Amino acid sequence: MITKKMEQALNDQINAEFYSAYLYLSMVAYFESLSLSGFANWMRVQTQEETTHAMKIYDFINERGGRVTLKALAEPPAEWKSPLDAFKAAYKHEQLITARINDLVNLAIREKDHATNAFLQWFVNEQVEEETSVDKVARELKMAEDAPGAMLMIDRELAGRVFTPPAPQGE
């Protein structure tokens, strides 16, 4: 059983993860509008990942005898100044999510909820990867700024990203 406080905080995180999916889906539409299908593919995979993050928490709340409650999603931005600007925004967003995960771990520790703390460690590690992968593309785009044609090369590279569902907890 999880405490009401923990349940509330995890429900808020479900909302944050679905918002991440919504934000990245909005970026898919932005990249599609620029005919950058590789970038759009990369963000589409990111959207799928975020949905699995939300569902992981959803299932955990149920397993622990809590109650899932879904809240309204905020409207994401629809336009960015450039692909670099969009990836910089995604990086900033991931840093915010990392801070939220850290706050959740701190709460689990305060509540002496070891099971939730152990569950959240998957997210702690995942956030390292989330920040790194977004930052990597942002850095490539920064370098591509003065290199005509480089943008299309990056687009081709990002077209190869495929969605891999995360392994079940504990494997």
x/- string (CB under 6 A) for ligand OFO, residues 83-102? -----------x--x-----
50 binds ligand OFO, rule: CB under 6 A: yes
When binding is defined by CB under 6 A, the residue of 20, 26, 51, 116 that contacts ligand OFO is 20
CB of 67 to ligand OFO, least distance (A): 22
Instruction: Report the alpha-carbon distance of residue 96 to residue 130 in Å, rounded.
Output: 11
Q: Whose Cβ is closer to ligand OFO: residue 50's or residue 155's?
A: 50
Q: Whose Cβ is closer to ligand OFO: residue 3's or residue 117's?
A: 117
When binding is defined by CB under 6 A, the residue of 6, 11, 44, 53 that contacts ligand OFO is 53
The amino acid occupying position 117 is N
The amino acid occupying position 154 is I
When binding is defined by CB under 6 A, the residue of 130, 137, 144, 151 that contacts ligand OFO is 130
Instruction: Report the alpha-carbon distance of residue 55 to residue 57 in Å, rounded.
Output: 5
Residue with tokens 């397993």: 63
CA distances from 116 to 105, 113, 143, 168 (A): 8, 6, 41, 15
36 binds ligand OFO, rule: CB under 6 A: no
Phi and psi angles of residue 89, each rounded to the nearest 5 degrees, phi first:
-65, -40
Instruction: Report the alpha-carbon distance of residue 24 to residue 75 in Å, rounded.
Output: 12
Q: Whose Cβ is closer to ligand OFO: residue 101's or residue 107's?
A: 101
CA diameter of the chain: 57
CB of 153 to ligand OFO, least distance (A): 25
Give me the residues that bind ligand OFO (CB under 6 A), please.
17, 20, 50, 53, 94, 97, 130
